[in-house]
Structure 1
Amino acid sequence: MHRPYRRRTVAVASAALLAGLFSAPAGHAAEAPRRVVENLDRGLVAVPSGKGAFLSWRLLGTEYARHGNAIAFNVYKNGRRLNRTPVTKSTTYQDNTPGKGAYAVRAVVNGHEQKRSSAALDFAQGYAEIPLATADGYTVQHAWPGDLDGDGLYEIVVSRLSGTRDKPDLLEAYTLTGQRLWRVDQGPGSYTQAGGNGANDPAPAAISGSTAIGGYRNDDNVTVFDLDSDGKAEVLVHTADGTTFADGSKVTAASPANQFVSVIDGLTGTERTRQPVPDDFVADGPSGGHFGIAYLDGEHPSLVTKLVTRVGAKRGSFRILFQTWDLNGAGLTPRWKYVVPSTSGATSFHQIRTVDVDLDGKDEIADGNYVVNSDGTLRYVVDGAGHGDRFHIADLDPDRPGLEGFAIQQAESGVIPTFPWYYYDADTGERLVTGQHPADWVNDTDIDVGRGSTGDIDPDHPGYEYWTSTADVTAPGAGVRNVQDGKISTTTPSVNFRIWWDGDKASENLDFTHVEKWDPASETTSKIFEPSGVVSGARNATPFYGDIVGDWREEILAETADHTALRLYTTTEPTRTRLYTLAQNAEYRLGWTVRGYLQSTYTDYYLGTETRRVPKPSITLPEGAVRSDDHA
């Protein structure tokens, strides 16, 4: 066995996570810090289904933390209750009564009905359509959810890029009901500075990168989050000379090298404050980078900005810098800066993850083969590992304490990687299982395992499965492996994104705009959802997927084929599984804050076939917030 430790019981969280469920008695250690989270509403949606409508709504993490499963719901249509007894086993309801109507739900706590939720979001066409403002030749690259107006319902911020790369990048904000809030023009630096000498990714002024490397855009340099915990999300973005905000004000600077981190008011699109980007790498030319959010103190969110450049040729060595920031009454203030030692063996991947790998309540910054601690020190570098494009961190094995990771590898600077992939301990960086070297790698100095994925796709094996894009089925790297049982199939499903879509707790796969289900018996996949009239973008990805409305399952946000609108799709599959909204799980929500190369999002507790009960989150609302959920 490769695994050094196994418990016989199936757990849904480590002991460290469960410790946060109980208050410390008087005279003992204080309760663990609680994260300040978004004040979400019920997120009710109504989608045509059967003879009527399929309804879905949130069980909030804030109320689950207080009441556990002792919460039921009543469902109303035009003020008339539809259910005979309170709904307790799900946060969905199928209404087959005739006629249209206005839907709402009320929570029932200890036998007492609470106030009514907001009206259901209309999915009358089977999706919610968000018309895009006119921008000829532009496509939507990424989308970030955030509650910009503080009403408990997410709005969407999108980046739009010109297909010819001769026009500036755009940032725009929209409501889920289709209202455009504002536009920010990123200015000439977002396309004239992109790519540099070909050795580096684009200049920080570019939102989502350039065509400098491989014809793709690897960066983001923007994120959306309520950074100052005032109940309304801000937009954080790199800006430069010529960036124009929604009120017409502009950034002016003497040189394109003078670039900034700007805080944009999420509701108005106007700049609140800015700080200069660290200039450590200016001599190396344009830098690439990523933005994300982390709770570095365990309670309050901080902005994480990563700068990366490559020295010399296109495949030159990496130089990596992290600067973290806090937003408060004093404005945007630096927290700490860390330049990763060039001799450490750390190599940049195309997307960071912010996640609490040691389960102490504070987030670390993971970047593929290494992790930076919450205090800006190097935690570890995975022995023997180099650069890869994607990596995953979650509780992949429910019988093993803590979190695990899975990463893929590619050649760098003509050096063939020692192994094609590795499965590892996310806390220590110890490799638990290491992929074998395919025979055809012997003389290939540009090998690239371009994709790797994880998910619980086989209910007959405990824990998650993982697989790569290795095409040759006879190669050691091909097939599906289980975290406990090793190789369980010689074929592979699609290897783009994991998604929770249908009614079970297992994972489905999202590729292009369709959802696939893996059949372990036949070792094949079948499409279970395929919308028409929409397209995917770079890397066969849609601008966003995640749990932004309805119950705990995930939605898909895709762009129409004519690039005039976005469409939000939600599942109408019935389920007997009830979980608090994934949007109030720490790791899952922070996964939305980094886009870049795009990767799957995960919870920090085990969510799979064997899950029976999930731990209560240690979270709280912003100080002075009036709850958006429907009880006090």
Structure 2
Amino acid sequence: MNPSRKSVRRFSVATAAGLALTVGCIATPAAAVEPSPKPATAGVQLDYLDRGLVAAGTPGGVFLSWRLLGHEATGSTATGLTGTDFAVYRDGQKLATVTDSTNYLDASGKATSEYDVRAVVGGVELDRSATATSWSGNFKDIPLKKPADGVTPKGEAYTYSANDASVGDVDGDGQYEFVVKWDPSNAKDVSQVGYTGNTYVDTYKADGTLLHRIDLGVNIRAGAHYTQMLVNDFDGDGRAEMMFKTAPGTKTVTYNPDGSTARESFISLPTEDVAAGYANTDDYRMSAADYYEHMVATFRGWHDHPEVKAGNWPATLEEAFGIAPQYQYPLSRTDAEAVTNYFMDVYAPSRSARNNLRAFEGFILSGPEYLTVFEGATGKELKTVSYEPGRHDDGLMWGDYAMSRIEPGNRVDRFLAGVAYLDGKKPAAVFARGYYTRSTLASYTWDGTDLSPVWNVDSGWTPMTNPFNDGPHGRDGTDPVFGKLTTQGFHSLSASDVDGDGKQEVVYGSATIDDDGSLLYSSFDTMPPQSATPGEEARLGHGDAMHVTDIDPDRPGKEIFTVHEGGIWAPYGYAMRDAATGEVLFGEYSGRDTGRGMIGDVDPDVRGIENWAIGMQSADGDKLSTTSPGTNMSIKWAADMTTQIVNGSGNQTPTIDDWKRGRLLTAEGTRTNNGTKGTPSLVADVVGDWREEMLVRTADSSALRMYVSTEVTQHKLYTLMHDPQYRAEVARQNTSYNQPSYTDFYFASDMDFSHVPLRAAWLPGSVKALQQTLEDLVDSGDVAGPVTGQLTASAQQAAKAVNDGDASKAGQAIQRFAGFLVQQKKKDEVSDLARTMLDYQARNILRAFEG
């Protein structure tokens, strides 16, 4: 049974009224909404969500789990938050009122039972959830439609598997849709040679309905470093958009009900690019022959390169390669070919046996690059702008030819993306390019029409004396402010309010960008005696894993735990630092690439959140063990609020393991993604209570399987998606090397719930929900008389103001609504139930403006 939202609302009103009379819940009208200070900017914008009720079959009965919304929490106890309680119903009969959690085990439940929950506010049951019937077990399959197999220009066949996923409410109904990226079997790391198939991004309803597919086209290479997809409601209209890097040839495909293609629509190219002759039919993939010609052209123009003309690079290629002078410049075609042959066949192999530039193919090193905003519900292109910064070249200036491993297209094509509440109110998009040498970030806001730059950060080029033989890592860029950002970036980034000013910073690996785009800090430390450069000050440097939250509850502020791959050239293999200042609190030198590290409350007997990379440490640095849990991905799965670990990579079956209790789940018939990284498609609080769900693909990629924890918990906490840091972290989880999502507050088995922020968040769908409730109450006769028009007009004015982005006017309209609600004119009729329901919703909206 899946009644429409309209029928659910109407049944809720009638049923609640009947219950109120039966059990005597309503004795007097609820307190009136009192005037508040004139509202200004609304509180932090988060997702408007429904109750998210799920029912899962277990050996002990049917397990029910649902959301406490952020605005419903009003206080705390030793075990959780207080606020809204919940009445649980099976087949229309009340089972219980739950006050200490948002889950319930119905020992007598059956597979055919139908459940709903209702918020209990002031003794009145309100806001009946949609009906849920039991899953057969602890998971639900979301059917997927696999793309057709393909063949590369070289005749190599490839297939598809579902990869990373994200969630967003694309249609404003309070339920998350699922955005799934499809990777071809020949997806590549940026340093790997070869063609790849196209990357696809699908959007599905929970029942498997494919809303649309975005084909990124042949000019976006497939692999973890290329497509970072952001899914979020950026403009505050209650419906999520998608943003990611695109190119000529990117198109949206929509479908008929029978699954056949209804329409294909390419992105619109900027006017100047059309005038320059670019088209959506272009193919910029480089063959081995193309690359050879590219190097011939590069060498013919060597004398005219700005770095050569400025005297920064060798004047001749012979000098660059360390051979005797023999050519006249500018090079003739014949001489340029001779130099290219020498470079590919002699010089490059002499630098590394792995350098086989004759086989270099499949890369996209030319052509336009774009950033596109898509409508989440339809995949319609909303805006396309140039991707900033552009590649500039094939990686020559980025240091891709300077190291012993010559890797054209590597450092230049390292992309990151994330969401950050830079103003403390609305989500902005952050896109980055490069992190080993030149390091850049650009931030944007989307208002429904314009993609507006907020700030741009650029380290400048890393100076090199010889672009074919140098060590540009760890060297300051040319920008006087951001030069120390080089080599500090990771394969991910995070958004967190590290300095406590209510606005999120961008934690860019070993450095942090302040909310206004200034450099908050870039972390350095002294190299130890056993390192390559004892006593020198050096960057903490690049690494593969980073975790940002309140790790140590006994010291103020947050901490950042990172691992580092600099080996003998880095001061630490892992480090814990103060998130606000970048100061290292403790760490350990390793002398090698420390590739993995994780944090989590895996031992409830130890204070704080444990961390591990070289053994395991406590939050304050005490060594706990020489062994440690896995590092693929963590998950908040257990009833006691400890942390569990997702294990399994490649063709292994994924598991969820507890450091103390052992295996909690074996996800038979599924697989993780991203090779040895072994990461699920997504770990996030998608449905149910505050615990995270694990989303993994089935082995044949026919479905995205969502697992839910069925341990009964006595802890009560609002959905993690109503924590701004956590929501931003989920949006960026798929970026490059997937990292867990963390809350803005200390989350562990010994957490003090009085320290959990009670947020008056702005939920864009809340005014629409108020309008719908009013409509139902008018239809039922609970609201009648002239006040009906006054309330309706006020709600309409608030809705228009929200659509116009005018928070102040929206708040004022809701205040007028509240005033009309409490007036007692003779011809007006507002039942006690109606006043309670409308009062409750109006109060929550006003709290968003006050809070």
Question: Is this a same-fold pair by TM over 0.5?
Answer: yes
Aligned residue in 2 for 1:248: 264
- What SS does the corresponding residue of 1:620 show, helix, strand or coil? coil
Note closer, same or farther for the CA distance 1:237–1:532 as it changes in structure 2 (3 Å cut): same
- Residue matched to 1:75: 88
Q: Is the 8 A contact 1:65 1:617 kept in 2?
A: no
Q: CA deviation at 1:491?
A: 1.7
1:623 is displaced (CA, Å) by 7.5
Contact kept in structure 1, 2:57 and 2:134, CA below 8 Å: no
Q: 2:213 aligns with which of 183, 199, 203?
A: 183
Per the TM alignment, residue 618 of structure 1 is displaced from its structure 2 partner at its CA by: 4.2
Structure 1 position 49 matched with structure 2 position 58: yes
Secondary structure in 1 matching 2:265: coil
Deviation sequence 1:334-353 (CA, Å, 0-9, x none): 22211135231542200011
Q: How does 1:175-574 map to 2 (within 5 A)?
A: 175-191=205-221, 209=223, 217-246=224-253, 247-251=263-267, 252=269, 254=278, 256-285=366-395, 286-308=412-434, 317-341=436-460, 342=477, 343-346=483-486, 347-384=488-525, 385-411=540-566, 416-435=569-588, 437-438=589-590, 441=591, 447-468=592-613, 478-484=614-620, 486-512=622-648, 513-519=654-660, 526-538=662-674, 539-574=677-712
| Other structure's SS at 1:626 match | helix
Cα distance, 1:155–1:65 mapped onto 2, change above 3 Å? farther
**Partner SS for 2:119:** strand
d(CA) in 2 for partners of 1:508 and 1:591? 18
More divergent stretch after superposition (250-259 vs 593-602): 250-259
Distance 1:563-1:377 versus aligned 2 partners, 3 A rule: same
Kindly indicate whether the alpha-carbon contact (under 8 Å) linking 2:113 and 2:134 is maintained by their aligned counterparts in 1.
no
- Distance across 1 between alignment mates of 2:605 and 2:138: 34
Give, in angstroms, the shift of residue 283 of structure 1: 2.5
Candidates 741, 745, 767, aligned match of 1:625: 767
Aligned residue among 180, 184, 199 for 1:162: 184
Identify if the C-alpha distance between structure 1 residues 556 and 623 changes in structure 2 by more than 3 Å, giving closer, same or farther: closer
Structure richer in strand, relative to its length: 1
Quickly say closer, same or farther: Cα 1:31–1:267, change in 2 above 3 A.
Answer: closer
Q: How does 1:11-160 map to 2 (within 5 A)?
A: 34-64=43-73, 69-83=82-96, 86-99=97-110, 100-120=112-132, 123-135=135-147, 136=149, 137-160=159-182
In the superposition, the TM-score normalised over structure 2's length comes to: 0.62
Alpha-carbon distance between aligned partners in 1 of 2:382 and 2:36, rounded to the nearest angstrom = 44
Q: Structure 1 residues 219, 279: CA separation in 2 closer, same or farther (over 3 Å shift)?
A: closer
CA deviations 1:491-548 (Å, max 9, x no partner) are 21212222111210111112232111112xxxxx721111110011211111111111
In structure 1, C-alpha distance between the alignment counterparts of 2:117 and 2:374, rounded to whole Å: 34
Q: Is the CA contact (8 Å cut-off) linking 2:547 and 2:598 kept in structure 1? A: yes
**Cα distance in 1 between the residues matched to 2:514 and 2:43:** 19
Q: Distance in 1 between matches of 2:136 and 2:549?
A: 36
Q: Answer yes or no: is the 8 Å Cα contact 1:159–1:169 preserved in 2.
A: yes
Cα distance in structure 2, aligned partners of 1:30 and 1:609: 38
Extract unaligned runs of 5+ from structure 2. Answer: 1-34, 150-158, 188-195, 254-262, 279-283, 285-365, 396-411, 461-476, 478-482, 526-539, 649-653, 774-836, 842-851
Q: Report the CA distance shift for 1:89/1:26 in structure 2 as closer, same or farther (over 3 A).
A: closer
Q: Contact between 1:291 and 1:593, CA under 8 Å: does it hold in 2?
A: no
- Stretch deviating more after TM superposition (131-140 or 143-152): 131-140
Q: Which has the larger Rg?
A: 2
Consecutive unaligned residues of structure 1, counting only runs of 5 or more, are 1-24, 192-205, 210-216, 310-316, 442-446, 469-477, 520-524
Identity of aligned residues (%): 34
Encode CA deviations 1:296-346: one digit per residue, 9 max, x unaligned: 11111111111116xxxxxxx511111111111542122221113523154
Displacement of 1:273 after TM fit? 1.4
Checking the alignment, whether the CA contact within 8 Å between 1:43 and 1:120 is kept in structure 2 is: no
- Which one-letter code corresponds to 2:103 in the other structure? T
Distance 2:659 2:51 in 1: 32
Quick one: distance in 2 between partners of 1:331 and 1:152? 25
* Total equivalences in the alignment: 551
Counterpart position of 1:591? 729
Kept after mapping to 2: 8 A contact 1:393/1:602: yes
| Contact 2:419/2:495 (8 A) holds in 1 | yes
SS in 2 for 1:510: strand
- Look up the equivalent residue of 2:546 and give its one-letter code: F
Change (3 A) 1:98 1:162: closer
When normalised by structure 1's length, the TM-score is: 0.83
Question: SS where residue 85 of structure 2 aligns?
Answer: strand
Give distance in 1, aligned partners of 2:766 and 2:647. Answer: 42
1:229-259 Cα deviation digits (max 9, x unpaired)? 0000001111101111124111355275311
Matches of 2:125 and 2:174 in 1, distance apart? 20
Q: Which whole-Å CA distance do the structure 2 matches of 1:400 and 1:498 have between them?
A: 24
The one-letter code matched in structure 2 to 1:579 is L
CA distance in 2, matches of 1:66, 1:229: 28
Structure 2 distance, partners of 1:292, 1:345, is 18
Q: Residues 345 and 302 (structure 1 numbering): CA distance in 2 closer, same or farther, change over 3 Å?
A: closer
Q: Judge conservation of contact 2:647–2:655 (CA < 8 Å) in 1.
A: yes
Aligned with 2:252: secondary structure? coil
- The answer to whether the Cα contact below 8 Å between 1:44 and 1:118 also exists between their aligned partners in 2 is yes
Higher mean C-alpha displacement, 39-48 vs 384-393: 384-393
Please tell me whether the aligned partners of residues 560 and 576 of structure 2 are also in contact (alpha carbons under 8 angstroms): yes
TM-superposed CA distance for 1:370, in Å, is 0.2
Task: Tell me the distance in 1 between the aligned counterparts of 2:55 and 2:656.
Answer: 21
- CA separation in 1, counterparts of 2:376 and 2:643? 33
Question: Hey, what's the Cα distance between the residues in 1 that align with 2:690 and 2:173?
Answer: 20
Aligned-pair distance for 1:287? 2.3
Q: Assess if the C-alpha contact under 8 Å between 1:533 and 1:560 holds in 2.
A: yes
Question: Hey, what's the Cα distance between the residues in 1 that align with 2:692 and 2:664?
Answer: 14
How far is the alpha carbon of 1:120 from its aligned partner? 2.4
1:582-612: per-residue Cα shift (whole Å, max 9, x none)? 1111111111111221111111111112213
| Distance across 2 between alignment mates of 1:145 and 1:335 | 25
Q: CA deviation at 1:418?
A: 2.0
Distance 1:574 1:284, change over 3 A: same
Larger displacement relative to structure 2 (324-333 or 398-407): 324-333
Counterparts of 2:669 and 2:485 in 1: how far apart (Å)?
Answer: 46
- C-alpha change, 1:63 and 1:624, in structure 2 (3 Å) is closer
Q: Which structure has greater helix proportion? A: 2
